[in-house]
Every structure is written in structure tokens, then in C-alpha cells.
Structure 1
Amino acid sequence: MKRSTARAAAAAAVVVGCGLVALVIAYYAQAGSEAGLLTRTGPAVVWGLPIAKLVFNVAAACTIGSLMLTLFALPPKGKAFSQALTFAGISAGLWTGASAAMSFLTFHSLANLALFSEGSGTAFISFLVDVDAGRRGALSLLLAATVTLLCFAARGYREASLAALLSFAGLVPLALNSHATGSGSHPDSAVSVVMHMASAAVWLGGLLALVVLRRTLDSAMFTTVVRRYSTLALVSFVALAVSGLLAGWAGVGTLAALATPYGGILAAKSAAFIVLGVFGLLHRRWVIAKLEHEPRKGVRAFTVLAVTELAVMGAASGLAAALARTPPPTIAVAGPAEQTPQIPSMIEAFSTWRPDPLWSLVCGLAVFLYLAGLRRLRLRGGSWPAYRTALWLFGIAVLFVVTNGGLHAAQENLISAHVLTQMTIAAVVPLLLVPAAPLSLAEQTITRRNDGSRGAAEAMDAVVRPILKATGDPLVPALGLAATLTLLYYTPLLEYSSSTQFGYAAMTILALLAGCLFTASVTRAFSRPASPTVAARLLALGGAAVLYSFHGWALAQQPDQLPDARRQPWQISVDPAFGIPSVGDAEPAGVAMWLIAAGSLLVAAAVVLFSARHKAGPLREARGSNAAARELVTASGPAAVTNPAFQARPEGSPNAGRAPNSVPLDP
């Protein structure tokens, strides 16, 4: 345990030391200008805040990275599992202290008060209670402290999973307090900051945890854990690239702005990111192969490369801390840009571009994972229908256009655009994604683990199968769809999802999940005795039609503008929204819901009737063969009952070749 503590301290010292050097070099010029502004606090706050943020970032990364490594790479029964949780707990304790320091220094920076001056204590308490920045800092402190307790008390996956969830949530308050969340006119930057911080934390913290645990694991298990961490690091690298590119461009705005201090720090941080990408490639192509064939030399190569990578990561963390205290050109020069609500035409709604960092990443990963699974299946000699691949690619393309195109921007102002977005995601996209059978493809290609740890296959068993079993009856997902529509249109989520990126992400996830579960329940029959009948599925479709009709009528009574106290009311006086002619004061959102609902429900009904007719032929043949078998049994005597030849199962039956109690994940 002492050796593990020494290794952890040495690795953390490398990261923090390199981070401090990079912070001083990058922040020196900006610190001089801020010291002149903060006349009462002086250098103590000017330098204390970025240093506290650096410690905050490293401690949070160690906590999150070690927890993710614990959940997805380590077997639950073993010394490494408990040591990883201990390392996460110590890191969370440092995170708590750094969060407290950041709240304290942020208060003095905003109030421009001397440290520990008379009356500052009362003002600080008021700051934590009454000011948004203070409340967010207090929430971050509370979450970090809770994670600390959970990590030391954790004994299994359940507590570790809760700690990991709360640790990711602990990054949100800092992102909301960051200047990047209000940079320019880019409302998506809050999500970019959270994605950036979370992916960097998994990458940096996971590598630190590996360095600490390398002597705790035997050579074979260490190789396995490194390979699993490499997968997490690859996903983190992609997420960092997407979120960093969008957030960085939102900060600089133009290529000329790269010559500013903000642009220079951003360029240096990008160079460090490229170097880290090269290190990651070396890990995947060279270190893992060496660990498999020459374990002793492989461990030495991993240690040297990991320590070098940690030094670069520390420098990148220092640059990030300096960047957070440097105003971007879009704020310092032009100020926040005012946006005038525009009424787009139908072509503009789908041709303009509004990148969303979260859904760009989700769509890209969905395509990559599906094609990777297809490649693995074919390498194993399996086959996969081409139409399923085409449906998946087309469905993801539609999802990408809706979440990153003109509708993404227009839905902030027009409820008709909001309805088009929600209905396309809930009704159209599931009709493309569900028949593509991604879960069946995953079930056939993902390798199961035998060491007690949990990977994708085990997660599917623990989460996906129970959900599919609970929603097999169409009545359950139909009720879920009704509840989702009520939540989306008759609660504050309507305005929250149109004005904030976190709300938009919540709306999209709810609509997509409700739509996929409903579509799956009415367009396929599970191979089990309780399989829903054709009548039950058609009845569920009829109920959905009534539901959409009611909601469409209610929307037709509302004005087109979404309520927003931050904007002045404006009138539609130029062209009808989306080129749809209005009748009197009727609002096009209701018409949009009716049209999309009618089309999607008709397609779903056609699929149900076609599948029922397609199965009717084999069932009739089965009845005939069973009748012939009974006649032959009668003629041959009782001995024929035990003959397997008379216990025939109709060819093409959905249960053929499957265990009696198994439930397929897809049609």
C-alpha cells in the first residue's frame, strides 16, 4: 500500500508540476493585466484561481478516471479493485479542497475584496446562498464531498457506479460558471465544456490509475486492463477532438484571432493534444503488442511512455487553466452578439448548419460502432442483411441533420420548429433505427468477459434486456409515449429545451427513447408465449393516433413563438413559417404533428400487417404438418409418440434454433 501511495504521489507530482510550468508561461501576460484590475486582492487571487483550477482539474480527473477504470476494466474481487477505489477517494478529497478554494477565491475576485478582510465572511456566505456562481460552487463542493465518502465506503459496482455518476455531475457547476458558457452567441458551449472536461478526466485519470495499479496486477491481467483502458482513451480522444474544435472555434471566431493571447494558448493546447494522440497510437499499436509477447519489457515500455504522456497531459491541463482565465476575442472585442429571430423557409431549416457537440459525437460513434460490429461479424463468417445497414446509416443521417441543422437553431424561437424536431426524432428516426437491429448485431459480435468485470455485453444483460422485457406489451411504451409528450409540452421543459443545450439534450434523449421503445413494441413480436397479438399492436397504434391528434389540436391553439422572458415579443409578418400557409391565426405546429404522426403510424401499421401476413403461411403449413403427424401417430401406435421424427417444428418458426426461454433483442 505504501508503494502504491508513493507511485500515486509521484505520478500526480509529474502532472501538477508540468501543469504549473505551462500555466505560468501561458498566463503571465494576462496575470499582469488582471492584477491591475483587482487592486484590493492583487496577485494572491490572480494566481490563486488558475492554480486552484489546475488542482481541481487533476483531482477530478483522477477521481473520474479511476472510477471508470474500476467499472469497465477491473474484476470486482481483487486487490486492484479496492486500491482503485481508495485512489479515487483520496483524489476526491483533494477535489473537495480545490473546489472550496475555488469558491473562496472566486468570491474575492468578483467582489474585489482583500483576503480575510473585515466583513468578508458574512459576504462570502451570502455569495454562496444568493449568487448563482456561489451556489454552483457550493454544489460542486457538496458533490465532491459526497463522492469522497462513497469511494471510501464502496465495496462493489453499485456504490462505484453511483460515485461515478455523481463525479460526472460535479463537473457541471464549473462548466456553467465558466466564461465559455456565454461566449459569443454560442449556446452549445456549456455542453462542449462538460464533454471536454469529462473526456479529459477519463483519459488522464485512467492513465494515472494504471500507473498506480501496475504492480498490483499480474502480467496477463495488466495487459487486459491496458487494452480495455485503451478503448476508453480512444473514445475520450474523439470526444475531446469534437468538443475542443467546436468550443475553440466559438472562442476565436476567425483565423486572425489566433494571434491573440487566447488564440496562442489554444494553439499550444492543440499541439499538446496532437502529441497525446501520437502517444495513444503508440499505446495501441506498440505497447499492447509488447505486453502480449514480452510482458516484462512491455511493462517497462508502458511505464516510460505513460510518464511522458502524463507530463504532456499536465502541461495541457495547465494551458487549460490559463485559457479559462483568458477572455476570448469574441468576448473581449465584439461582446456577445445579438441574434434576431428569423423565420426560416423549409429549405433553410434543413440546409443551414448549427453544430451540436453532443449529438455530433453520438451520431459519429453510432455509425462507427455499427460498421465495426458488421466488420467483426463478417470476419467470423457471419452474414448481415444489407437493408439493415442502409436503414441504420440513413436513420443516423436524419438524426444528425435534425440535431445539427437549421431546425436546431429555429426551435429556439418557433414552436413549429420545436415540434418538427421532436416528432422527427420520436416518430421518424425510430422507424429507421429499430429495423436495423443494432442490439442483435451487438449481441452477435461483442465478446463476453469471464473474469467478473462488466463490459458492453454484461451491461446489455443488466440494462437493455430488463427494459425490453418490461416494454414488450405495447400498452407500456404507449403510456410512456403519452407521458413523454405531456412532459415535453406541458412542463417547463418546453422552454428549457428550446433555450438551453442541457434541456435540448434531455428532450432529444426522451423523445428518441420513447419513440424507439414504442416502435419496437408494435413492429415486432417477441418469441415468447406472451408475445403481443396483431390486434393489440394495432390498438396501440390507434391509441397513439388519438394521442397525437389531441396534442396537435392543442398546439394549433398556441402562438408560434416560444415563451421567453429574455426576448422582446415579435410578430410573424413576412412569410408563413416553413412555407406552410396559415389559416387565420392557426399555428403550423399542430399541422406538423398531424402530418408526421399520420405518416409514421401508417408505415408502422403496414409493417405489422405485412409481418402478420408473412407469418400466416408458415403457420398454416405447421398446422397441416401437425395434423398429418397426428394421423400418422394414430396409425403407427403409441410408440411413435417418442420418435423425434413425429415431434417436428415448422421450418422458419421464430423459435427454431433458440433456447426456449430466450428473448431476442431485435426483430
Structure 2
Amino acid sequence: MMSSKAAPGKSPKGKSGPGKPATGKPATAKAGAAKAGNGSAAPTWLGRLGARGVILLVLLLAAVAVAVVIPLSTMSTAEALELIGVPDPGPLTTAGLPAVRAIGELLASVAVGAALFAAFFTPPQKDKTLDVDGYRMQQISSWANFAWAAAAALLIPLTLSDVSGRTLIESLPPDQWLVAINQIDVASSWRWAAIIALVAAIGQRLTLTWRWSIVWLAVTVLSLLPVAATGHASGSTAHDLATNSLIIHLFAAAFYVGGLVAVIIHTMRGGTRVALALRRYSVVATVAIAALAFSGLINAIVRLHPADLFSSTYGLLVVGKALLLILLGIFGLAIRRRVIAKIETRNANAPVDRATLLRIIMVESVVMAGTIGLSVSLGRTPPPAPLYVPTRQEALLGFELPGPFSFETVFGLWRFDLVLGLASVVLLGLYVWGLIHLHRRGDSWPPGRTAFWVAGCVMLFVTTSSGMGMYMMADFASHMVGHMIISMLVPIFLALGGPLTLALRALPAAGRGNPPGPREWIVEFINNPISRFLTHPIVASIQFVAGFYLVYFGGFYETLASEHLGHMFMNVHFLISGYLFYWVIIGVDAAPRQFTSMYMMMVLLSSLPFHAFFGILLMNYPTVLAESWYSGIGLPWIPDLLQSQRVGGGVAWAMGEIPLFIVMIALGFQWYQSDMREARRSERQADRDDDAELKAYNEMLAQMAEGDRRH
């Protein structure tokens, strides 16, 4: 798991390594880039900068972000303090909090972009360790994560100072940090961001393999998740939509900004395969721009009335940010496309004009840094006051329910889930793309698998984006209905759809010497030690069943049910846990481990009692789970919370058996198909060798009979 190999650029026993020529002298950036595909030496002044150039670049972008955020935030600070009735905490907090936050988000973006480059923009070596370019980028990502963790930690006392109206000096002692973390949700979010970023930074220092670089990229991206709970989104009406759109916005911005910064660093340091890196980044940037536009539009609709767009400070900042993003999208994509086309029309070994390329993308990155500063200032600017006072349900849920749970209210209400609802649409679109690609190539695909996949995606969309998804947050019985569908029914259909097999057939190979592409990532996802462990049938069934007991009876449900991010975590956890279990038991995709159908049937039957017992335990549980949360919502048609919990337990008991019965039928059918394939194989073998196996068996029986007669 953890690599103990020497770092790239150092070779044991005097042998040449990935960053060291056979002479034993360290390879320079110029030498490393000199005859690689579409690479050329960096300009002399850039080559001399080296690591200092990276630091200067980040400092430049940070200075731009700070120069934008401080004056814009200062303009609205007095209004914000007046609205919440808090004394002025002083200039250190007034200017320092938005400045540190802007720097922190920039550093997080750099960490994400560098980790993305190490994992996907540069090929690993034959032993699956990172090459020189990948190693450098992972080290840069590690340092950026350390700095991002420090910035997030500093935001804890700054937040305490801002909320309490005390000066920053008074908020710096460690005991005040504990007060902030325990009493202020925003400060607690910064604590988690710092911890996650620190884990990623340390992990990147301890590992050198390409496989682990993907893991640390995921952890780095995850460090942005707590940031979604620190702005207006978590406390506004329709905060479910606002928080989900902010998550998409933060992730997209990190990939867009960080990816471009990584390309600049790679080009500046004389890295290889600049054209390929630029092509891959252009794909990332296109998706990120679309996500930024979509999520930004949702945020504007949630927080702004059309009349406030040009008549309020918040509205004007939104307009300014939208214009910057439009300009970035048009300018950036057009320029990159032109540069890529110019490179590809040349000879494959023609050098890249790095100086010109750097000047172009540096302008884009500076504008990006300014946009980050503008975004942070939006978080410090109070949005226009709502036109009405929200009800208690709207304040807690983000919306209001019209009446009791029924067929009419479930299918008469629709509220698009920007996480799982959007995921179901994307997954269905990607599957259709794969089918179209196979059809154009003349290949066939079983229609039954397509039907299963479509059914799973539609079921996921309806469960999360109809009234069902809304009632799941407010009523335990409704929550359990949705939980059973997401964890027990949807994964069955998705597993029977065979998405990994379709992707492996539809996606092209990256080609020898190129960085791994989507097809190689899927192969790596299937064939790695973590997957081999998680896809053992016993492990898969334990994590599937144990998740129910831990969430509801392990003391976590109260916290998860009362927070939007917690509710989202439960849904995602149930979906992934269920898919992993059913992929192992009945999935048509290849798994790292292969077991007989009889073994799978035994594992499935052994899990049945635990599902039944979970429902029975819920029906007889004497304490109301998340009582303060459900009491606070106060749905008038649910006067007895314990009775609602008992109904939920009955739902878990009844609905838990039906999917497993379906799985038993599917497993039995797969068992029958396996036997039929084996029988056909035996028949073909018999035709080829004139039934040699049967003749040998009959001869053995004859010899045994002859022996019996002699005795």
C-alpha cells in the first residue's frame, strides 16, 4: 500500500532512475523536457526560477485575490454587523477573515489541480510509481494542502472574532478555539477542512504510487466539502438547493482554477507532454465552466429576487461574477482550442512556444484569482432581505410540506436534488453515450441490461427529486421508505446494468506511453487491493448490514438527520454501500474476486436474518431517534413520533425482504445460465475430441467392474 521506493530523481545503488540519467547527475527540467512529445525547454528565466517560480506564482495569484476581496468585503461589513447586532471586531478581522478565506480557497484549488495533474495528466512508470512530473506535482499539492490546512485553522479564531465582536488577539488563545469549535458551526466546519487537508498532505508525502495519487486527490477534493456550510447557503431558505449548488460551485472552481495553475507550473518548469496536458485540462475546464454556470444560476435564483439584481450590492456582485465567468469561459476555451490546434498541426516533435503559452494562460489565471476574491466577498455580503418571514418548516428544511405523506403529495411535488438527482441524469446520459458508441461500431449490447440501468436511474431520480425526497427529511417513516429504495432497490438495477463492462467496451485505450485515460482508471478501480478487500462477499455483506445499525443505533442519526449535509451523506452512503453489495452478489460486471453461485447464495441467505432483525429492532425501540429534530419541525399530522418510528421499522422489515427475494431469483437465473454455458462448453469439447472424456470415464467404469468380478 504505502510505497517504500526511492523518490523520483533518486536511484539506489547508482542505477539510473526516472529523474536521473545514467551518468548519475540529476536531470534538469530542460533535459527532462527536451525530446518528449510536444515538449521543449522552458525559457531561460523560467528555468532559473524553479521551485521559487511556483511560490511566486501562488503569491501573485493570492495577492490578486486579496486585492479584490478586501475592499469589496469592507464595503458590506458595516451593513452585515448592523444586521446581526455584533460590535466591530477590528480591522484585523474585518480585512483578515475574507483575505485568509480567499487565500485558503486558492490554496485548496492549487492542491486539487496539482493532485489532478499527478494522477491523470502524466503517465506512471512501469512499476506504477509516479514519474518526475507526477512526483513534482504531488509534492506541490502536498505543500498546498499543508498551507490550506493552516489557513483553515486560522479561520477558526477569525470566525470567533467575527461572530462575537471581539478582537482577533482576544480570540487567539487555544481555549477560545475550543469554544468556537463547540459553539459555532462555521468554526467547526473550518476545523474539519483543516483536518482533511492535513490528512491529504501527509498521505501525499508518504506515497509515490499512481494508485494512491488518485486516493489523495479524492481526499483533497473532500476538504472543500465543509466550506459549503460556511456561507449564506446553509442558513437561507431553500438551503437544500443553495448548499448543494454551492458544493458543485466549489468543486468546479477548484478543478478549473487549480487545473490551470497546474498546467502553468508544468509548462514553467519544462515538463513534458504539454499539448496532451492542455487537451485534458480543456475537457476539465469545459465541464467546470458548465457546472459553475449551472450552480451559479441556482444560487442566484434562490437568494435574489429579479428586482434586486441591479439594485443591491449583493446583486451587483453576482452580475459582476457572472460576467467574469462568461469572459473566462469564452476566452479560455477559445484560446486553448487555438493553441492545441496549432500544436497538433505541427510535427509531433516540434517544440511548444512556452513563453507565449504562459503569457496567455497567466492572464486567465489572474482573472480567475480575482474571481475567487469576488466570490468570497459575496459570502461576506448580506443578500437582500426575503420578501416574507419563512415558517419554521422552511427555516429547518428549506421548504414547506403541504400535507400528510400520500401518493398525491409525493408525485405532485418536485424538487430537483442537485446531487443524486443530477447524478442519475449524468449516469443515464453516459450510459446512452456508451450504447451509441457501440452501435456505431457495429457491436451489440443486451437490451435487458439497458432496461435495468434505465430503471435504476429513473428510480433514483424519482426517489430523490420528487416529494419523496422532501418528506424523507421531515418524517422518519417516509425517510425509511426512501432509505430502502435507495439502498435496496436502486443498486440492484444498477448492478444488473453492467456499467463497467459497457464502459470498458466503449472507451478507447490511452495508448502506450500516454497518461492513463478513463478506461485505464476503471481497470485500476477494479484491480487494486482496496477493491479486492471490499468486494469479498463477506466484507461486502458486513459493511452493507453494519451500516444500518451504526447509523441508527450508533448515535449518529441525530446529527445526520438534523443537517442537510448529513442527510446527503446518508443517501450517498446507502447508495454506494448497496451498489457494492449487489455488484459482488449479482453484478454482471467483472469483480476483483470470483466466487461460485452457491457461495454467493450462502452469503445472501446469511444476511437475511440481520435485515429482518433490524426492522424488528426499530419497531420495538423505546426511544425516538432524532427526537429534537422531528419535534422542531412539528408536522401536525404526526402527533406521535414513536408511532412514526414504528411504522418506519415495519417498512424496513417488509421492504428489506422483497429486494433480497428479487436478488435470489436473479442469482438463481445466473446460476442456471452458468450451468448452461458449462454444458455447451463440454459439448463443444466433446465434438472436438470425439467424446474422449466420456470414453475414458466409461473405460474406468469397465475396469472397476472387471476388478469386482475377479474378486
The TM-score with structure 2 as length reference comes to 0.76
CA drift of 1:52 comes to 2.1
Q: 2-side partners of 1:402 and 1:242: how far apart? A: 22
Structure 1 segment 17-416 matched on structure 2, within 5 A = 18-20=64-66, 22-23=68-69, 26-27=72-73, 29-33=75-79, 41-76=89-124, 77-92=130-145, 94-96=147-149, 98-99=151-152, 101-114=154-167, 116=169, 121=173, 124-125=176-177, 127=179, 130-132=182-184, 133-141=186-194, 144=197, 155-157=208-210, 160-161=213-214, 163-187=216-240, 189-217=242-270, 221-252=273-304, 254-258=305-309, 259-282=311-334, 285-294=337-346, 302-329=357-384, 334=389, 338-339=393-394, 342-416=403-477
Q: 2-side partners of 1:559 and 1:386: how far apart? A: 48
Corresponding residue for 1:444?
505
CA drift of 1:88 comes to 2.9
Q: 2-side partners of 1:586 and 1:30: how far apart? A: 46
- Confirm or deny: 8 A CA contact 2:74 2:95 kept in the other structure: no
**Which segment drifts farther, 492-501 or 468-477?**
468-477
Give the letter for the 1:255 counterpart.
P
Residue in structure 2 matching 1:606, options 665, 672, 683: 665
CA drift of 1:563 comes to 2.4
Measured on the aligned residues, the alpha-carbon RMSD in Å equals: 4.1
Is structure 2 residue 524 aligned with structure 1 residue 462?
Answer: yes
Number of aligned positions between the proteins:
629
CA drift of 1:366 comes to 1.6
The TM-score with structure 1 as length reference comes to 0.80
Give the letter for the 2:301 counterpart.
W
Give the letter for the 1:388 counterpart.
R
CA drift of 1:115 comes to 5.2
- Confirm or deny: 8 A CA contact 1:35 1:43 kept in the other structure: no
CA drift of 1:437 comes to 0.8
CA drift of 1:32 comes to 4.8
Residue in structure 2 matching 1:518, options 548, 556, 581: 581
Corresponding residue for 2:39?
none
- Confirm or deny: 8 A CA contact 2:157 2:172 kept in the other structure: no
CA drift of 1:324 comes to 0.9
1:220-256 Cα distance to aligned partner (Å, 9 max, x none) = x11122222233334433443444343443333x333
CA drift of 1:394 comes to 2.8
Distance 1:576 1:614, change over 3 A: farther
Distance 1:386 1:291, change over 3 A: farther
1:177-200 Cα distance to aligned partner (Å, 9 max, x none) = 334322225146445434422321
- Confirm or deny: 8 A CA contact 2:113 2:258 kept in the other structure: yes
> Residue 511 of structure 1 aligns to a residue in which SS?
helix
- Confirm or deny: 8 A CA contact 1:330 1:336 kept in the other structure: no
Q: 2-side partners of 1:223 and 1:293: how far apart? A: 11
1:257-300 Cα distance to aligned partner (Å, 9 max, x none) = 32322222122222222223324532564332222223657756
Q: 1-side partners of 2:189 and 2:340: how far apart? A: 42
> Residue 512 of structure 2 aligns to a residue in which SS?
coil
- Confirm or deny: 8 A CA contact 2:146 2:198 kept in the other structure: yes
Q: 2-side partners of 1:634 and 1:154: how far apart? A: 52
Seq. identity, %: 22
Is structure 2 residue 655 aligned with structure 1 residue 596?
Answer: yes
- Confirm or deny: 8 A CA contact 1:415 1:561 kept in the other structure: no
Give the letter for the 1:278 counterpart.
I
- Confirm or deny: 8 A CA contact 2:133 2:271 kept in the other structure: no
Q: 2-side partners of 1:206 and 1:95: how far apart? A: 16
Distance 1:173 1:552, change over 3 A: closer
- Confirm or deny: 8 A CA contact 2:526 2:591 kept in the other structure: no
Residue in structure 1 matching 2:546, options 458, 483, 490: 483
Structure 1 segment 446-595 matched on structure 2, within 5 A = 446=507, 447-448=509-510, 450-451=512-513, 453-465=515-527, 475-523=538-586, 532-557=595-620, 563-568=626-631, 574=637, 587-595=646-654
Q: 2-side partners of 1:38 and 1:13: how far apart? A: 33
- Confirm or deny: 8 A CA contact 1:185 1:338 kept in the other structure: no
CA drift of 1:306 comes to 1.7
CA drift of 1:47 comes to 2.5
- Confirm or deny: 8 A CA contact 1:552 1:594 kept in the other structure: yes
Distance 1:96 1:483, change over 3 A: closer
CA drift of 1:436 comes to 1.5
CA drift of 1:207 comes to 0.4
- Confirm or deny: 8 A CA contact 1:74 1:80 kept in the other structure: yes
Give the letter for the 1:485 counterpart.
F
Unaligned runs of 5+ in 1: 638-667
Q: 2-side partners of 1:290 and 1:355: how far apart? A: 42
> Residue 608 of structure 1 aligns to a residue in which SS?
helix
- Confirm or deny: 8 A CA contact 1:356 1:404 kept in the other structure: yes
- Confirm or deny: 8 A CA contact 1:239 1:361 kept in the other structure: no
Give the letter for the 1:608 counterpart.
L
Distance 1:371 1:307, change over 3 A: farther
Q: 2-side partners of 1:585 and 1:596: how far apart? A: 16
Distance 1:177 1:391, change over 3 A: same
Structure 1 segment 617-632 matched on structure 2, within 5 A = 617=676, 619-620=678-679, 622-623=681-682
CA drift of 1:543 comes to 4.0
1:392-414 Cα distance to aligned partner (Å, 9 max, x none) = 23311211221222222212222
Unaligned runs of 5+ in 2: 1-46, 125-129, 395-399, 697-711
Give the letter for the 2:116 counterpart.
M
Give the letter for the 1:456 counterpart.
P
Q: 1-side partners of 2:537 and 2:236: how far apart? A: 45
1:101-135 Cα distance to aligned partner (Å, 9 max, x none) = 53443333233234546x97477455456543445
Q: 2-side partners of 1:103 and 1:528: how far apart? A: 44
Give the letter for the 1:3 counterpart.
L
Corresponding residue for 1:642?
none
CA drift of 1:212 comes to 1.7
Give the letter for the 1:225 counterpart.
A
> Residue 437 of structure 2 aligns to a residue in which SS?
helix
- Confirm or deny: 8 A CA contact 1:113 1:120 kept in the other structure: no
**Which segment drifts farther, 205-214 or 237-246?**
237-246
- Confirm or deny: 8 A CA contact 2:244 2:419 kept in the other structure: yes
CA drift of 1:67 comes to 1.5
1:368-413 Cα distance to aligned partner (Å, 9 max, x none) = 3323333333444433234433432331121122122222221222
Q: 2-side partners of 1:585 and 1:3: how far apart? A: 66
Q: 2-side partners of 1:114 and 1:529: how far apart? A: 57
Is structure 2 residue 49 aligned with structure 1 residue 3?
Answer: yes
**Which segment drifts farther, 258-267 or 60-69?**
258-267
- Confirm or deny: 8 A CA contact 1:184 1:330 kept in the other structure: no
Q: 2-side partners of 1:93 and 1:500: how far apart? A: 28
CA drift of 1:211 comes to 0.9
**Which segment drifts farther, 47-56 or 72-81?**
72-81
CA drift of 1:53 comes to 1.9
CA drift of 1:496 comes to 3.6
Corresponding residue for 1:649?
none
- Confirm or deny: 8 A CA contact 1:230 1:283 kept in the other structure: no
CA drift of 1:492 comes to 2.9
Give the letter for the 2:266 counterpart.
L
Distance 1:268 1:474, change over 3 A: same
1:558-594 Cα distance to aligned partner (Å, 9 max, x none) = 69975232453788875999xxxx9x99943244335
Give the letter for the 1:268 counterpart.
G
Give the letter for the 2:107 counterpart.
A
CA drift of 1:620 comes to 4.5
Corresponding residue for 1:664?
none
1:478-524 Cα distance to aligned partner (Å, 9 max, x none) = 33432233234322343344332333333223322332233334436
